[in-house]
A = this chain, B = another copy of it.
Amino acid sequence: MDINTIYNEDCLETMKRMEDNSIDLVVTSPPYADRRKTTYGGIHPDNYVEWFLTISDELKRVLKPSGSFILNIKENVVDGERHTYVLELIIEMRKQGWLWTEEYMWHKKNSFPGYWPNRLRDGWERLLHFTKEKKFNMYQDQVKVPIGDWSKNRLKNISEKDKKRVESETNSGFGKNISNWVGKDMVLPNNVLYMASESSNKSHSAAFPEKLPEFFIKLFTKETDLIYDPFMGSGTTAKVSFELNRNFIGSELSKDYYKISKERLGKSKNVKKFFEWK
């Protein structure tokens, strides 16, 4: 199996040639149900779970026990209701043996416009975190963020009470020592990613902002680890992987999207091979 290669084929074909337990991280944004009709034929919501389970089964085989699988997805509205296919998918993937370890949230700064009688504009998407084992690789130090402005005022004139251990009023047993923050300027983020979807002035339509795979690549891999994206699209995860000195494999069924990825990644010296499907 050649790494640092992108394949213009169905991801199931690519994975057939992969060894068991060889991938450190899967970050992907598959075609949503009934979307991208022109490229993927528009999988109907009612058939989505069945379709995706064949893929997640193979992903589970090739993922290392210490690895993670991040799935960006959002259910659309069908007949006035949110469809339940994502909920069902989580439940079925657990039956396959996956652990639903966490659900991260992408809070979109610029949500799609619109006005409807029964709902507001949709401003968020799911980022489901699945793992094979309870213990897996996670490098939290790599995703620390600058401390908020609140600390500047808070720490400037630190009170006597703050220097002592401040017990929370609810008797939750959790206490905090504010003075520990002095000198620190980076803190751990939480499980909400607040960022805009990428602008579309470029030739490709990359709704997936680069910061998003970047966050998970930093959080769940170290350099030279191997990342796989079974639905590469315009190659956002690929690009970020190479930039962060990770190894990468990608699959993309659509010829058009594949070409966009190829062009986008062509400048990168890290990409070894392009494999075009005949």
Contacts and interface: CB of A to CB of B under 8 A. Distances in A.
Interface of A: 79-82, 84, 87-88, 90-91, 94, 99-105, 107-108, 111-115, 117-124, 131, 134-136, 138, 140, 168-170, 172, 174, 176, 188-192, 194, 200-202, 205
A101 B122 CA distance: 12
Most chain B CB atoms below 10 A, which of A87, A103, A108, A190: A190
B82 A124 contact: no
Contacts of A119: 101-102, 191
A82 B94 contact: no
A84 to B, nearest CB: 6
A176 B121 CA distance: 15
Contact of A84 (B90, B170, B174, B188): B90
B205 A170 contact: yes
Contacts of A188: 115, 120-121
A7 to B, nearest CB: 25
A34 to B, nearest CB: 14
Nearest to A130: B81
A194 B84 contact: no
Nearest to A94: B84
A122 to B, nearest CB: 6
Number of copies: 2
A168 B114 CA distance: 13
A202 B118 CA distance: 36
Contacts of A170: 200, 205
A101 B84 CA distance: 11
A194 B211 CA distance: 21
A177 to B, nearest CB: 11
A49 to B, nearest CB: 12
Contacts of A169: 200-202, 205
Nearest to A89: B87
The 10 closest A-B pairs by CB, nearest first: A123-B190, A121-B190, A123-B192, A170-B205, A80-B134, A87-B87, A111-B190, A120-B191, A169-B200, A170-B200
A131 B103 CA distance: 25
A119 B119 CA distance: 31
A90 B119 CA distance: 18
